[in-house]
Structure 1
Amino acid sequence: MKQEMLMDMKVRGKKFSFAVVRKTLPNGLRVEVDRIEHPGAVLIIPFLTKDKVVFLDQYRPVLGRYLLELPAGTLDKNERPLLCARRELIEETNYKAGRLQRLGRIYPVPGYSTEIIYIYKAEGLTREKGTKDKDEIIRPRILTKMEAKKIFRKGCIHDAKTICGLVLCGWL
Protein backbone atom coordinates (compact mmCIF):
# COMPACT_ATOMS: atom_id res chain seq x y z
CA MET A 1 0.00 0.00 0.00
CA LYS A 2 2.45 2.62 -1.22
CA GLN A 3 0.49 5.73 -2.06
CA GLU A 4 2.11 9.03 -2.79
CA MET A 5 0.84 12.33 -4.07
CA LEU A 6 2.95 15.34 -4.97
CA MET A 7 1.48 18.31 -3.15
CA ASP A 8 3.87 21.09 -4.02
CA MET A 9 7.16 21.41 -5.89
CA LYS A 10 8.79 24.19 -3.89
CA VAL A 11 12.17 24.77 -5.53
CA ARG A 12 13.91 23.32 -8.56
CA GLY A 13 17.68 23.80 -8.44
CA LYS A 14 20.52 23.09 -10.84
CA LYS A 15 20.74 19.42 -9.81
CA PHE A 16 18.16 18.88 -7.06
CA SER A 17 14.60 19.88 -6.27
CA PHE A 18 12.59 20.21 -3.08
CA ALA A 19 9.02 18.94 -2.85
CA VAL A 20 6.32 18.39 -0.28
CA VAL A 21 4.59 15.04 -0.78
CA ARG A 22 1.63 13.38 0.89
CA LYS A 23 2.28 9.73 1.73
CA THR A 24 0.25 6.96 3.30
CA LEU A 25 2.33 5.07 5.86
CA PRO A 26 2.09 1.27 6.31
CA ASN A 27 -0.16 1.86 9.36
CA GLY A 28 -2.60 3.88 7.23
CA LEU A 29 -1.65 7.30 8.60
CA ARG A 30 -1.43 10.05 5.96
CA VAL A 31 1.48 12.44 6.39
CA GLU A 32 3.13 15.33 4.58
CA VAL A 33 6.84 14.84 3.98
CA ASP A 34 9.51 17.34 2.90
CA ARG A 35 11.69 15.63 0.29
CA ILE A 36 14.80 16.53 -1.68
CA GLU A 37 14.66 14.87 -5.10
CA HIS A 38 18.19 13.72 -5.99
CA PRO A 39 19.31 11.92 -9.19
CA GLY A 40 21.81 9.73 -7.30
CA ALA A 41 25.58 9.75 -7.06
CA VAL A 42 28.70 7.61 -7.08
CA LEU A 43 31.74 7.34 -4.83
CA ILE A 44 34.97 5.85 -6.14
CA ILE A 45 37.83 4.36 -4.11
CA PRO A 46 40.78 4.62 -6.53
CA PHE A 47 43.54 2.17 -5.59
CA LEU A 48 46.94 3.14 -7.04
CA THR A 49 48.38 0.07 -5.31
CA LYS A 50 47.01 -2.35 -2.73
CA ASP A 51 48.04 0.13 -0.02
CA LYS A 52 47.63 3.55 -1.71
CA VAL A 53 44.39 5.36 -2.52
CA VAL A 54 43.77 8.71 -4.20
CA PHE A 55 41.82 11.05 -1.89
CA LEU A 56 40.82 14.65 -2.54
CA ASP A 57 41.02 17.79 -0.47
CA GLN A 58 37.84 19.35 -1.87
CA TYR A 59 36.54 22.82 -1.11
CA ARG A 60 32.86 22.71 -0.16
CA PRO A 61 31.30 26.17 -0.66
CA VAL A 62 28.23 25.33 1.45
CA LEU A 63 30.50 24.66 4.44
CA GLY A 64 33.13 27.25 3.50
CA ARG A 65 35.98 24.78 4.04
CA TYR A 66 37.95 21.88 2.60
CA LEU A 67 36.99 18.28 3.36
CA LEU A 68 39.11 15.17 2.87
CA GLU A 69 37.02 12.96 0.60
CA LEU A 70 37.14 10.16 -1.91
CA PRO A 71 36.23 11.11 -5.51
CA ALA A 72 32.48 11.29 -6.08
CA GLY A 73 29.87 12.91 -8.25
CA THR A 74 26.23 13.27 -9.16
CA LEU A 75 24.63 11.19 -11.92
CA ASP A 76 23.72 13.11 -15.06
CA LYS A 77 20.19 12.63 -16.41
CA ASN A 78 19.72 8.99 -17.55
CA GLU A 79 23.38 8.19 -16.74
CA ARG A 80 24.16 4.74 -15.38
CA PRO A 81 26.18 4.63 -12.14
CA LEU A 82 29.08 2.68 -13.67
CA LEU A 83 29.51 5.25 -16.46
CA CYS A 84 29.27 8.08 -13.95
CA ALA A 85 31.99 6.45 -11.83
CA ARG A 86 34.29 6.20 -14.87
CA ARG A 87 33.63 9.84 -15.82
CA GLU A 88 34.02 11.27 -12.32
CA LEU A 89 37.25 9.37 -11.65
CA ILE A 90 38.88 10.87 -14.75
CA GLU A 91 37.48 14.37 -14.10
CA GLU A 92 38.56 14.55 -10.47
CA THR A 93 41.81 12.55 -10.38
CA ASN A 94 43.14 12.31 -13.96
CA TYR A 95 43.11 8.51 -13.62
CA LYS A 96 41.19 5.96 -15.68
CA ALA A 97 40.20 2.65 -14.09
CA GLY A 98 41.06 -0.67 -15.72
CA ARG A 99 38.53 -2.33 -13.38
CA LEU A 100 35.57 -0.98 -11.43
CA GLN A 101 33.86 -3.20 -8.87
CA ARG A 102 30.63 -2.15 -7.21
CA LEU A 103 30.95 -2.63 -3.44
CA GLY A 104 27.47 -1.51 -2.44
CA ARG A 105 25.12 1.43 -2.16
CA ILE A 106 24.01 3.71 0.63
CA TYR A 107 21.14 6.07 1.39
CA PRO A 108 23.05 8.93 3.05
CA VAL A 109 20.04 10.90 4.35
CA PRO A 110 16.88 8.77 3.99
CA GLY A 111 14.86 10.99 6.30
CA TYR A 112 14.51 13.70 3.66
CA SER A 113 16.31 12.77 0.42
CA THR A 114 15.90 10.22 -2.38
CA GLU A 115 19.68 10.14 -2.93
CA ILE A 116 21.38 6.77 -3.43
CA ILE A 117 25.18 6.65 -3.60
CA TYR A 118 26.73 3.72 -5.48
CA ILE A 119 30.20 2.85 -4.17
CA TYR A 120 32.90 1.50 -6.50
CA LYS A 121 36.43 0.20 -6.03
CA ALA A 122 38.72 1.25 -8.90
CA GLU A 123 41.90 -0.67 -9.76
CA GLY A 124 44.34 -0.83 -12.65
CA LEU A 125 44.63 2.95 -12.78
CA THR A 126 46.35 4.69 -15.69
CA ARG A 127 46.87 8.41 -16.19
CA GLU A 128 44.33 10.18 -18.38
CA LYS A 129 43.83 13.92 -18.66
CA GLY A 130 40.44 14.90 -17.32
CA THR A 131 38.51 18.15 -17.42
CA LYS A 132 37.55 19.32 -13.95
CA ASP A 133 34.27 21.11 -13.36
CA LYS A 134 34.93 24.86 -13.15
CA ASP A 135 33.11 25.17 -9.83
CA GLU A 136 35.19 22.46 -8.11
CA ILE A 137 38.38 23.23 -6.19
CA ILE A 138 40.15 19.90 -5.75
CA ARG A 139 43.64 18.87 -4.65
CA PRO A 140 44.43 15.15 -5.08
CA ARG A 141 46.15 13.54 -2.11
CA ILE A 142 47.56 10.00 -2.00
CA LEU A 143 47.27 8.19 1.33
CA THR A 144 48.28 4.76 2.56
CA LYS A 145 45.89 2.63 4.59
CA MET A 146 47.80 3.44 7.79
CA GLU A 147 47.73 7.19 7.06
CA ALA A 148 43.99 7.12 6.31
CA LYS A 149 43.25 5.23 9.54
CA LYS A 150 45.35 7.67 11.56
CA ILE A 151 43.59 10.69 10.02
CA PHE A 152 40.21 9.06 10.67
CA ARG A 153 41.06 8.31 14.33
CA LYS A 154 42.09 11.95 14.79
CA GLY A 155 38.57 12.92 13.68
CA CYS A 156 39.71 14.56 10.45
CA ILE A 157 37.48 12.70 7.97
CA HIS A 158 34.03 14.25 8.24
CA ASP A 159 32.46 13.19 4.94
CA ALA A 160 29.94 10.39 5.56
CA LYS A 161 30.12 8.83 2.10
CA THR A 162 33.92 8.64 2.35
CA ILE A 163 33.69 6.91 5.73
CA CYS A 164 31.19 4.40 4.30
CA GLY A 165 33.46 3.75 1.32
CA LEU A 166 36.46 3.14 3.57
CA VAL A 167 34.42 0.68 5.64
CA LEU A 168 33.19 -1.19 2.54
CA CYS A 169 36.72 -1.59 1.15
CA GLY A 170 38.04 -2.80 4.51
CA TRP A 171 40.16 0.23 5.37
CA LEU A 172 38.23 1.10 8.55
Structure 2
Amino acid sequence: MNWVHAENLVQAQILAAKALTPEKNYIASGQVYFINDGEKFNLFEWLTPLFERLGCSKPWIRIPTSLVYASAMIMEYLHLMLKPFVELSPLLTRNEVQNISITHTFRIDKARSQLGYSPEKFAFADSVDHYIKTRPEAQNHHIFFKVLLSLIVSSSLIFFSLRFDGLSVLHFFKETQH
Protein backbone atom coordinates (compact mmCIF):
# COMPACT_ATOMS: atom_id res chain seq x y z
CA MET A 1 0.00 0.00 0.00
CA ASN A 2 1.35 3.39 -0.92
CA TRP A 3 -0.01 6.59 0.50
CA VAL A 4 -0.42 9.78 -1.47
CA HIS A 5 -0.88 13.24 -0.04
CA ALA A 6 -3.88 15.11 -1.46
CA GLU A 7 -1.63 17.80 -2.99
CA ASN A 8 0.44 15.16 -4.81
CA LEU A 9 -2.71 13.47 -6.06
CA VAL A 10 -4.09 16.76 -7.40
CA GLN A 11 -0.72 17.50 -9.06
CA ALA A 12 -0.85 14.12 -10.83
CA GLN A 13 -4.43 14.67 -12.00
CA ILE A 14 -3.61 18.10 -13.42
CA LEU A 15 -0.53 16.73 -15.19
CA ALA A 16 -2.57 13.81 -16.60
CA ALA A 17 -5.25 16.22 -17.85
CA LYS A 18 -2.58 18.34 -19.58
CA ALA A 19 -1.08 15.15 -21.07
CA LEU A 20 -4.42 14.49 -22.80
CA THR A 21 -4.08 17.60 -24.97
CA PRO A 22 -2.60 17.99 -28.47
CA GLU A 23 0.23 20.10 -27.02
CA LYS A 24 1.45 17.05 -25.09
CA ASN A 25 0.73 14.73 -28.02
CA TYR A 26 -2.06 12.92 -26.07
CA ILE A 27 0.64 10.89 -24.27
CA ALA A 28 -1.67 9.97 -21.37
CA SER A 29 -4.46 8.71 -23.61
CA GLY A 30 -5.36 5.16 -22.52
CA GLN A 31 -2.49 5.01 -20.03
CA VAL A 32 -2.52 3.91 -16.40
CA TYR A 33 -0.25 5.54 -13.83
CA PHE A 34 0.54 4.63 -10.25
CA ILE A 35 0.62 7.72 -8.06
CA ASN A 36 2.08 7.92 -4.57
CA ASP A 37 4.42 10.08 -2.53
CA GLY A 38 7.47 8.35 -3.98
CA GLU A 39 8.72 6.80 -0.75
CA LYS A 40 8.57 3.28 0.64
CA PHE A 41 7.56 2.97 4.27
CA ASN A 42 6.49 0.57 6.93
CA LEU A 43 2.87 1.28 7.89
CA PHE A 44 3.44 0.89 11.62
CA GLU A 45 6.53 3.11 11.60
CA TRP A 46 4.61 5.67 9.55
CA LEU A 47 1.73 5.67 12.07
CA THR A 48 4.00 5.83 15.14
CA PRO A 49 3.67 9.64 15.55
CA LEU A 50 -0.11 9.29 15.73
CA PHE A 51 0.04 6.41 18.22
CA GLU A 52 2.47 8.33 20.42
CA ARG A 53 0.41 11.54 20.28
CA LEU A 54 -2.73 9.61 21.25
CA GLY A 55 -0.87 8.09 24.19
CA CYS A 56 -0.84 4.55 22.81
CA SER A 57 2.16 2.34 23.35
CA LYS A 58 3.55 0.04 20.71
CA PRO A 59 2.13 -3.48 20.78
CA TRP A 60 4.24 -5.84 22.86
CA ILE A 61 2.88 -9.06 21.35
CA ARG A 62 2.45 -10.17 17.76
CA ILE A 63 -0.86 -11.71 16.75
CA PRO A 64 -0.99 -13.98 13.69
CA THR A 65 -2.67 -12.36 10.71
CA SER A 66 -5.00 -15.35 10.29
CA LEU A 67 -6.37 -14.83 13.81
CA VAL A 68 -6.91 -11.11 13.23
CA TYR A 69 -8.57 -11.86 9.88
CA ALA A 70 -10.92 -14.39 11.52
CA SER A 71 -11.77 -11.84 14.23
CA ALA A 72 -12.54 -9.24 11.58
CA MET A 73 -14.83 -11.68 9.80
CA ILE A 74 -16.71 -12.34 13.04
CA MET A 75 -17.02 -8.59 13.65
CA GLU A 76 -18.42 -8.07 10.15
CA TYR A 77 -21.03 -10.81 10.67
CA LEU A 78 -21.95 -9.42 14.09
CA HIS A 79 -22.31 -6.02 12.48
CA LEU A 80 -24.73 -7.45 9.90
CA MET A 81 -26.75 -9.29 12.55
CA LEU A 82 -26.97 -6.26 14.84
CA LYS A 83 -27.52 -3.72 12.08
CA PRO A 84 -31.34 -3.73 12.37
CA PHE A 85 -31.10 -3.00 16.10
CA VAL A 86 -27.93 -0.96 16.64
CA GLU A 87 -26.06 1.37 14.30
CA LEU A 88 -22.41 0.46 14.85
CA SER A 89 -19.53 0.24 12.47
CA PRO A 90 -17.36 -2.87 12.68
CA LEU A 91 -14.23 -2.20 14.72
CA LEU A 92 -12.18 -4.05 12.11
CA THR A 93 -12.87 -5.39 8.61
CA ARG A 94 -11.20 -8.11 6.55
CA ASN A 95 -10.22 -5.50 3.98
CA GLU A 96 -8.43 -3.45 6.63
CA VAL A 97 -6.57 -6.54 7.84
CA GLN A 98 -5.37 -7.27 4.31
CA ASN A 99 -4.39 -3.65 3.73
CA ILE A 100 -2.13 -3.54 6.78
CA SER A 101 -0.71 -7.05 6.56
CA ILE A 102 0.31 -7.17 2.89
CA THR A 103 3.03 -4.91 1.56
CA HIS A 104 2.52 -3.40 -1.88
CA THR A 105 4.88 -0.88 -3.38
CA PHE A 106 4.11 0.65 -6.75
CA ARG A 107 6.65 2.31 -9.00
CA ILE A 108 5.83 5.83 -10.20
CA ASP A 109 8.59 6.01 -12.83
CA LYS A 110 6.10 6.10 -15.72
CA ALA A 111 4.22 9.06 -14.19
CA ARG A 112 7.52 10.82 -13.57
CA SER A 113 8.81 10.35 -17.12
CA GLN A 114 5.58 10.77 -19.13
CA LEU A 115 3.72 13.33 -17.04
CA GLY A 116 6.55 15.13 -15.28
CA TYR A 117 5.12 14.07 -11.91
CA SER A 118 7.34 15.15 -9.05
CA PRO A 119 5.77 14.47 -5.65
CA GLU A 120 6.46 16.82 -2.78
CA LYS A 121 7.65 15.31 0.50
CA PHE A 122 5.10 15.36 3.30
CA ALA A 123 5.54 13.86 6.74
CA PHE A 124 2.56 12.23 8.39
CA ALA A 125 3.76 13.60 11.71
CA ASP A 126 3.01 17.12 10.43
CA SER A 127 -0.70 16.36 10.17
CA VAL A 128 -1.03 14.56 13.52
CA ASP A 129 -1.43 17.75 15.56
CA HIS A 130 -4.13 18.99 13.17
CA TYR A 131 -5.96 15.68 13.54
CA ILE A 132 -5.73 15.76 17.34
CA LYS A 133 -7.22 19.27 17.42
CA THR A 134 -10.05 18.57 14.98
CA ARG A 135 -11.06 14.98 15.73
CA PRO A 136 -14.57 14.37 17.04
CA GLU A 137 -14.93 13.44 20.68
CA ALA A 138 -15.04 9.74 21.42
CA GLN A 139 -18.55 8.41 21.81
CA ASN A 140 -19.74 5.97 24.43
CA HIS A 141 -21.14 3.53 21.87
CA HIS A 142 -17.92 1.47 22.11
CA ILE A 143 -18.72 0.66 25.74
CA PHE A 144 -22.28 -0.26 24.76
CA PHE A 145 -20.95 -2.48 21.96
CA LYS A 146 -18.56 -4.28 24.34
CA VAL A 147 -21.35 -4.93 26.84
CA LEU A 148 -23.69 -6.12 24.09
CA LEU A 149 -21.02 -8.36 22.61
CA SER A 150 -20.30 -9.84 26.06
CA LEU A 151 -23.99 -10.55 26.58
CA ILE A 152 -24.29 -12.24 23.18
CA VAL A 153 -21.23 -14.42 23.72
CA SER A 154 -22.28 -15.33 27.27
CA SER A 155 -25.84 -16.19 26.30
CA SER A 156 -24.59 -18.24 23.33
CA LEU A 157 -22.24 -20.23 25.57
CA ILE A 158 -25.02 -20.83 28.09
CA PHE A 159 -27.42 -21.88 25.31
CA PHE A 160 -24.94 -24.33 23.79
CA SER A 161 -23.90 -25.75 27.16
CA LEU A 162 -27.54 -26.33 28.13
CA ARG A 163 -28.33 -27.78 24.75
CA PHE A 164 -25.44 -30.23 24.83
CA ASP A 165 -26.09 -31.10 28.49
CA GLY A 166 -29.75 -31.59 27.67
CA LEU A 167 -28.91 -33.81 24.71
CA SER A 168 -26.53 -35.94 26.74
CA VAL A 169 -29.09 -36.27 29.56
CA LEU A 170 -31.80 -37.13 27.01
CA HIS A 171 -29.51 -39.67 25.34
CA PHE A 172 -28.69 -41.21 28.75
CA PHE A 173 -32.39 -41.38 29.59
CA LYS A 174 -33.24 -43.20 26.34
CA GLU A 175 -30.43 -45.72 26.83
CA THR A 176 -31.42 -46.58 30.40
CA GLN A 177 -35.03 -47.26 29.39
CA HIS A 178 -34.11 -49.92 26.79
Normalised-by-shorter TM-score class: under 0.3
| Bigger helix fraction | 2
| Bigger strand fraction | 1
Higher Rg of the two aligned structures: 2
Task: Give the number of the structure with larger relative contact order, counting CA–CA contacts within 8 Å between residues 6 or more apart.
Answer: 2
